[in-house]
Amino acid sequence: IIVFTILVRLILFPLNGISIKSTTPPPQLQTEIDKLLAKYPGNDAESRQLLTAATQKLYKEAGITAYLGCCPMHLQLPCM
């Protein structure tokens, strides 16, 4: 089982790198995210929705996609 797990990890290693790179925001975006957090500081539903929409827009402009992070997991599950 351990050898099989290591083999699957080695085969899917490039996909894991791509998924991590595409889902992790670069440090330059952290300042922008901090500005958005300052702009929408409330905990009510409306400010959270606005913060989420603004964050998604920022991620889209930067080319970050959260859905690509699921690809390696979906390929590993049938093997396991």
Going from N- to C-terminal start, the domains of the chain cover 1-24+64-80, 25-63
Between residues 29 and 65, the one the model is more confident about: 29
Between residues 57 and 26, the one the model is more confident about: 57
Between residues 6 and 76, the one the model is more confident about: 6
Q: What is the pLDDT of residues 39-71, one digit of tens each?
A: 888 888 888 999 999 988 988 888 777 666 676
Between residues 21 and 10, the one the model is more confident about: 10
25 touches 62 (CB < 8 A): yes
Give me the pLDDT at residue 50, please. 92
One-letter amino acid of 12: L
Measure the CA–CA gap between 52 and 42, rounded to whole angstroms. 12
Between residues 38 and 78, the one the model is more confident about: 38
| % pLDDT > 70, the chain | 82
